[in-house]
Copies of this chain bind each other. A is one copy, B any other.
């Protein structure tokens, strides 16, 4: 199976490496930034190009992993090339690729990828949408080769999955960022919070998040909430965030 990539960001990098490790042939890595393309292409024995017009058309699948904003423009450039094509964006409709080929769709890995950390794809669910049943089977085979988990979702379901993932991943990570800034500011060891962060995430395997909820807001511990808000008053944005989320936790509990 021969695949090419447009994009050289976090998702493209992890998927291209996963393809190589699964013994697929990675043909082209295309990126407007040729240096980025070269870096990734070197790692997966591919060719680096910086224009979609240079793409080798003799491939089984083209995977587009670019900023959601850039996707429409690239789809336009690829019009009628008839290369089987998917994008990897959670919140972009599959239809954006309808004029590229008969076989078009989406391959959305529900995971967070940072370039400097390897991610095991085992158990990672890939949500797939395809224009035909045959193309869906081809994509299922690819997901299986990568060792990941195949699931089907249409564009609307994928949008809601993406929003849920933003809360579960991007926003919880931002909460860690605030915690780190608070410990740094008071010369306290952020490392001391790491077992807590892991336990909080692991709890969800056996408890629902609302069962797992602890803390002063959940306990309606008014004195502590007041002390915390007072201690945060020097930092208005953290104060607001603390107040809003605590109120939400208390509302949620009562509902």
Q: Point out residues on A near B: beta carbons under 8 Å.
A: 10, 67-69, 89-92, 110-114, 116-117, 119, 123-125, 127, 151, 153, 157, 159-180, 182-183, 185-186, 188-190, 192-219, 221-224, 227-228, 231-232, 237, 240-242, 244-245, 248-249, 251-252
Most central of A162, A208, A212 by chain B CB within 10 Å: A212
Complex Cα distance, B211 from A201, in Å, reads: 19
Ordered by A's residue number, 16 sampled pairs between the chains whose C-beta atoms are within 8 Å are: A67-B219, A90-B224, A111-B195, A111-B199, A114-B214, A117-B206, A125-B195, A127-B192, A157-B188, A160-B186, A164-B193, A165-B193, A173-B213, A174-B249, A175-B175, A244-B244
Q: A205 — which chain B residues lie within 8 A by C-beta?
A: 194
User: Given the known A-B contacts A179-B164, A223-B69, are A200 and B173 also in contact in the complex, defined by CB atoms under 8 Å?
Assistant: yes
Asked whether A203 and B114 contact (CB < 8 A) given A166-B215, A175-B175, A213-B174, the answer is yes
Of the residues B124, B194, B204, B211, contact of A116 by C-beta under 8 Å: B211
Q: Are A201 and B198 in contact (CB under 8 A)?
A: yes
The interface residues of chain B lying within 8 Å CB-to-CB of A216 are 68, 91, 166, 170
Question: Would A160 and B114 count as touching, CB distance under 8 A?
Answer: no
For the complex, what is the distance from the CA of A80 to the CA of B110, rounded to whole Å? 59
Please judge, given known A-B contacts A216-B68, A217-B170, whether A164 and B177 are in contact too, CB under 8 Å.
Answer: no
Q: In the assembled complex, which residues on chain B have CB atoms less than 8 Å from the CB atom of A168?
A: 175-176, 179, 193, 196-197, 200
In the complex this chain forms, how many copies of it are found? 2
Interchain nearest-CB distance for A238 vs B (Å): 8
Return the contact of A245 from the options B185, B210, B211, B241 (Cβ within 8 A).
B241
Q: Is the CB of B248 within 8 A of A244?
A: no
Cβ-defined partner of A224 (8 Å) among B68, B221, B244 = B68
Q: Which of B123, B201, B214, B221 contacts A197 (CB 8 A)?
A: B201
Query: A199 contacts B231, CB within 8 Å?
Result: no
Also in contact, A196 and B112, with CB within 8 A (given A176-B168, A223-B68, A249-B170) = yes
List B contacts of A207 (CB < 8 A).
Answer: 114, 116-117
CA distance A248 to B239 in the complex (A): 12
Query: Which residue in chain B gives the minimum CB-CB distance to A151?
Result: B192
Q: How far is the CA of A207 from the CA of B193 in the complex (A)?
A: 14
Query: Does B249 contact A203, Cβ atoms closer than 8 Å?
Result: no
Which residues on the B side are within 8 Å of A111 (C-beta)? Answer: 195-196, 199
Chain B residues in 8 Å Cβ range of A182: 160, 163-164, 167
